[in-house]
C-alpha cells in the first residue's frame, strides 16, 4: 500500500505583514544603535562600579568608626555594615574587572559587558533611598520604610499599586516589630508616634 505525497504549499506572508529590519545606511542616515548596550559603553561603564565602591567605602568607614557601648557583645554594631561594605567593594571590583576585560566582538570593537544592567531601576531605587532618608524622622520608620519598599517594587516592575502598598506596609511593620522585640531597638516613630 503506497501513499503518494504531493507538494505541500506553505502560505507566504503578505509583504506588508513582514517587519522590515533593515537599517538605512546611506548619505544623511545613521546606523541604528543597540539600545541595550549603548548607555554603558565608553566612560559610562565606570559609573556603577564607582558608586558601589564609594558606598562600600563609606559603609566600611562607618563600621570601623562606630562607637559601641561598653556592654556590647560580639560581633558588635559594626559587623553588619562592615560585611555589607566589604561585599559592595567586592562587587565593585568584579564590575571594574569586567569593564577592563571588555568582550571583543568579531569586528574587533569592544563589546559591552554591562549590557545586562538596566539603569532605570537602579536610579529609581537610589532616588527612593534619598527620599527615605529625608523623610525618616518626619514620617517615622513605618511609613518611610513602606514607601521605600513600595518604590523598590515599582522600580523592578510591580504595577499592582494597592497590593504593593499593603505588602510594603506589612514588611515595614515586620521590620519594626523585629527591631523592637528581637533587638530591643526603637526605630523612629515620626508622625504616628505623635498621633498614637
Distance from C-alpha of 19 to C-alpha of 111, rounded to nearest angstrom: 27
Confidence of residue 96 (pLDDT cuts 50, 70, 90): confident
Distance from C-alpha of 149 to C-alpha of 164, rounded to nearest angstrom: 8
Cell reading at 155: 522600580
Q: Do residues 190 and 136 touch, judged by C-beta distance below 8 A? A: yes
Report cis status (omega within 30 of 0) of the bond before 50: no
Instruction: Work out the percent of the chain whose per-residue pLDDT is above 70.
Output: 70
Q: What is the pTM of this model?
A: 0.52
Distance from C-alpha of 113 to C-alpha of 133, rounded to nearest angstrom: 32
- Express each pLDDT in 129-159 by its tens digit: 999 999 999 999 999 999 999 999 999 999 9
CA distances from 152 to 45, 172, 189 (A): 23, 13, 22
Query: Rounded mean pLDDT of the chain?
Result: 78
Under DSSP, the state recorded for 180 is I
pLDDT at 49 over 80: yes
Amino acid at each position: 500500500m503506497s501513499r503518494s505525497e504531493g507538494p505541500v504549499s506553505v502560505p507566504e506572508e503578505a509583504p506588508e505583514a513582514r517587519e522590515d529590519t533593515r537599517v538605512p545606511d546611506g548619505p544623511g542616515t545613521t546606523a541604528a544603535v543597540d539600545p541595550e548596550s549603548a548607555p554603558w559603553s565608553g566612560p559610562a561603564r565606570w559609573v556603577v562600579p564607582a558608586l558601589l565602591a564609594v558606598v562600600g567605602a563609606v559603609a566600611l568607614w562607618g563600621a570601623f568608626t562606630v562607637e559601641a557601648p561598653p556592654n556590647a557583645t560580639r560581633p558588635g554594631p559594626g559587623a553588619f555594615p562592615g560585611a555589607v561594605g566589604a561585599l559592595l567593594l567586592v562587587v565593585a571590583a568584579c564590575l571594574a574587572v569586567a569593564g577592563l576585560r571588555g568582550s571583543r566582538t568579531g569586528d574587533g570593537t569592544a563589546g559591552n559587558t554591562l549590557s545586562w544592567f538596566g539603569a532605570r531601576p537602579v536610579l529609581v531605587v537610589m532616588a527612593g533611598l534619598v527620599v527615605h532618608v529625608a523623610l525618616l524622622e518626619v514620617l517615622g520608620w513605618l511609613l518611610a520604610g513602606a514607601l521605600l519598599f513600595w518604590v523598590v517594587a515599582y522600580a523592578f516592575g510591580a504595577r499592582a499599586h494597592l497590593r504593593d502598598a499593603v505588602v510594603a506596609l506589612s514588611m515595614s511593620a515586620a521590620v519594626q516589630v523585629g527591631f523592637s522585640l528581637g533587638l530591643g531597638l526603637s526605630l523612629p516613630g515620626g508622625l504616628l508616634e505623635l498621633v498614637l
